[in-house]
Structures are given as C-alpha cells and as structure tokens.
Amino acid sequence: MRKRIVVAVVLAVLLAASAYAQTTQYFLYVTDTSSNDISAYTINSSTGALTAVSGSPFPAGRGPGGIAVDPRGKFVYVANNGSNNASAYMIDSSTGALSAVSGSPFPVGSNPEGIAVDPTGKFVYVLNSNNRNVSAFTINSSTGTLTAVSGSPFPAGPTPAGVAADPTGRFLYVTNNFGLNVSGYTINPSTGALTTVSGSPFPAGLYPGGIAVDSTGKFLYVASYNNRNVSGYTINPSTGALTTVSGSPFPTGSSPWSIAADPTGKFLYVTNNGSNNVSAYTIDSSTGALTTVSGSPFPAGSNLENIAVDPTGKFVYVANHGSNNVSAYAIGSSTGALTAVSDSPFPSGRGPSGVAIAAITGP
C-alpha cells in the first residue's frame, strides 16, 4: 500500500512539474524591402527549418530594411527607409504573428537604415543616413510604444549604416559609410541618451557597414564593403574606446555586407554580397584575431544582405536579397562550419534584407 502511495505522489509531482516546464519558441523575422512587408517564420529548434507564421507576411512601411527584436521577445521594430519612420509590432507569444503597436509607425529622420534595441530592452536606436544622426527612443515595456529620448537625435558621421550595442548595454557603435569610420557612444542607463566616447570616431576601411560585438563584449568587428575585409577592435571595458586587433583587417569575399557573432563567442560570420557566399571565422578569445573556418566561404543565394545567428548558437539565417529567399544553415559546434538545413533556401517576400530572431520562453 505504501509503495502505491509513494508512486502516486511521485507521479503527481512529475505532472505538476511538467505543467510548469519552461519551453522556448523561436521566430525569425525578415524585412522584404521591395514588397514592403515582413515575412515571419517559426524555427524548428531541432532542425533549423522554417515554417511560415499564419498571416505572414505582415505590412510595413515603404522600403523596410533594418529590423530588431527586444530581448524579451515581446516587440519587433523596423526602420522604413522609404517612409522615414519606424514600425513597431507586438509579437504573439504563441504563434509569432505580429500586430501593430499603438501609435506605430513612429517618425524618425531621413532614410533610416540600421536599427538596434539595447540589451536591457529599454531603448531603440535608429540611424538616419541622410541626416548623419541617431534617433533614440525609450520603450514602454508594456505596450512597446516609443518615446523620443531627450536630446535626440544624436550626431553621427556621414551616412551612418550599421549599429550594434555591447552585451552590457553600456556602449553603442555606429559605422559611418562615407565617413570611413566608427562612432562610439556611452549609453545613459536611465535615459538612453548618447555621449560620444573619447577618441571617437575610430578609423575603419572603405565604406564600413556591417557591425557586430562578440558575446563577451570584448571585441568589435566591422565589414568594409570596398576593401573585402573585416576590421577587428578590442573594446576598452571602462571607456568603450576601440583599439585595432593585431593582424586586422581580415580578408572576406567580395563586398562584405553584414556580420553576426554566435552566442558562445567562438565564431563570426560575414555575408559577401558580391560573391554570394558566407565567410566563417573562429575568434581567438584572448586577442580577437580571426582564423578562417575550414570550408569557408559557404554558398548562399543571390546578393545576400543581412545575417543572424539563433540564440542557441545552432543555426545561421541569411537574407538573399536577389533571389527572394532565406538560406538556413546548421553550425558545426566544434568547427563553426556551415551545413545547409534541409529544404533551404526558404521563400520570402521580394527583396529580403533585415533578419532578426525572437526567443520567447513560457510554460
């Protein structure tokens, strides 16, 4: 009799635990520049395959490009280059469907390009390429509504193109395409206001665009479109100032466009718009130097643009602007090599450009 009681209690505990077990769903969002919408997909967490979300694609402004997701997976923000505004969406945590946030779209400057949400999920930054500045907003954590930060917009260099924040949310970096440099800022943790880092802007190559900070926050990488290379920098943890990594710049394919670092801090990936492939590197954890992964570069679609690594570090996704689809790859956990996911590439809208991934955890 006692054995039956014990078994019953154990089963009850296991059932209760399973009811409250936390699972994470992953959704991929791609801006379709030419069809003025956003393609949404559910990511198969085992295979990396993509399945279109019901209702996808979702309408955006004119010429949507840059896209960012807040760290809680509640909101999506999109820079609409043609309509000079930023669209904001609420993510349905069950389906991944998007619904417009109240007040969206929000006005920004002229020809907005890059967009980023800081790692705390409190602020949004939009690059206004024609105005040489950065619009900053606070995020209403309940509704996703954006409110301009006092003092915004903040000055940048000529034609700001790419933007990235360090993992601590202390620093923000912006590539200035025609300025041939990188602007560095400290982020006020209370207000979101930007203050220029001492020594900024820092020199980069010809037409720097894509930019990424590694997961440790120690290194910054910038793609130089005309130089066919990637510049590496160490980040001063106190000041945010940049120092060139020994051996930098590192060679890429033709017309490198976008950069993404994996969450383990081991690998870096660069899309090559001109040679239609992806360069892969291992990151030296001490120096930040890059070493080409065996088999790199890996083939992709036509005129690929932006790239994202999923939060588990298992998969890579690339927007192929010219072939209207998304390439998906599995990452070799020990080597960083890329292997095409079954059925890749997956169809998107016209002119896919920006890529972002939402991770939503719940019962």
* Cα atoms in the Cβ-side hemisphere of radius 13 Å centred on 318: 35
DSSP code, position 10: H
Q: Which H or E element spans position 14?
A: helix 2-19
Query: Residue-wise over 223-257: b if at least 16 C-beta within 10 A, else e?
Result: bbbebbbbbbbbbbeeebbbeebeebbbebbebbb
Q: How would you write 104-158 as a 3-class SS string? A: CCEECCCCEEEEEECCCCCEEEEEECCCCEEEEEEECCCCCCEEECCCCCEECCC
How far is the C-alpha of 107 from the C-alpha of 152, rounded, in Å? 12
Predicted confidence band of residue 62 (pLDDT cuts 50, 70, 90): very high
Mean pLDDT computed over 309-337: 97
How far is the C-alpha of 9 from the C-alpha of 293, rounded, in Å? 52
DSSP code, position 168: T
Measure CA 63 to chain center.
18
Indicate left, alpha or beta for 313 from its phi (over 0: left) and psi (-120 to 50: alpha): left
| Whole-prediction pTM | 0.93
What digits encode the pLDDT tens for the residues 208-235? 999 999 999 999 999 999 999 999 999 9
How far is the C-alpha of 118 from the C-alpha of 120, rounded, in Å? 6
What digits encode the pLDDT tens for the residues 181-196? 999 999 999 999 999 9
Q: Could you please report the per-residue DSSP string of 292-346?
A: EPTT-SEE--SSEEEEEE-TTSSEEEEEETTTTEEEEEEEPTTT--EEEPTT-SE
How far is the C-alpha of 19 from the C-alpha of 14, rounded, in Å? 9
Asked if the model's pLDDT at residue 3 lies above 60, the reply is no
Question: What was the pLDDT predicted at 19?
Answer: 42
Domain chopping of the chain, boundaries: 23-362
Question: What was the pLDDT predicted at 363?
Answer: 64
Asked if the model's pLDDT at residue 14 lies above 50, the reply is no
How far is the C-alpha of 175 from the C-alpha of 221, rounded, in Å? 10
What digits encode the pLDDT tens for the residues 233-247? 999 999 999 999 999
Report the first-to-last Cα separation within the chain, whole angstroms. Answer: 34
Q: Token pair 């903040």 is at which residue?
A: 154
Asked if the model's pLDDT at residue 107 lies above 50, the reply is yes
Question: What was the pLDDT predicted at 362?
Answer: 75
Which CATH architecture fits 23-362? 7 Propeller (2.130)
